[in-house]
Amino acid sequence: MVTVAASGKVLLAGGYLVLDQQYSGLVISTSAQFRTHVCLHAPTESVSVVDSFVVVVTSRHMQQSWTYRICLLPQFQMIASPQNQSENRFVAETIRLCLKFLLLTKSAEFIFSKLQGRDMMIELLSDVCFYSQHHNLRAAGLPLRSSSFHLLGDRVAAAPTFTSSSSSSS
């Protein structure tokens, strides 16, 4: 498994439009972090499709997951699963850009040799203070301040993870 962490940001002006390069905004960094866990896992589908693999992205905060079939040959294609609960264009575009960059630097054959027939599981995590926790704090009888966040512990809703002791990464 590989884990990547990045400092969080607060958008003071511009909202999510700043994700589009034609717009600007004012952003400050915070000490809280976003983390992404990536691991390879046994195929999620019983039917194997040649020259493709599946990427599953889960978000504990949003309690959702998104599944995509990635075809690298003869050309790059990313197909959203019809079972996806919703569309998240930010997740989809991030995966698309990362894979296209990887294809610019490595061959499809190299990528398949590293996957070794496994699918990719990506788990998105963020520190609890990124999201409004007033309902959880009130339910726990805790004061409404940031110093109470760590006291919530397991009371914050969490979706199951794909992490497994039998999974390995290359």
Q: What is the pTM of this model?
A: 0.66
Q: What is the DSSP letter of 147?
A: G
Instruction: List the one residue out of 33, 75, 77 whose CA is nearest residue 54.
Output: 77
Bridge partner list, 58? 65, 123
* 45's tokens: 């589908």
Residue 164 has pLDDT above 60, yes or no: no
Bridge partner list, 9? 29
Q: Read off the pLDDT of each residue in 49-77 and give the average, rounded to a whole number.
A: 86
Mean pLDDT of the chain: 79
Residue 44 Cα distances to 18, 93, 118, 119, angstroms: 35, 22, 9, 7
Residue 121 has pLDDT above 50, yes or no: yes
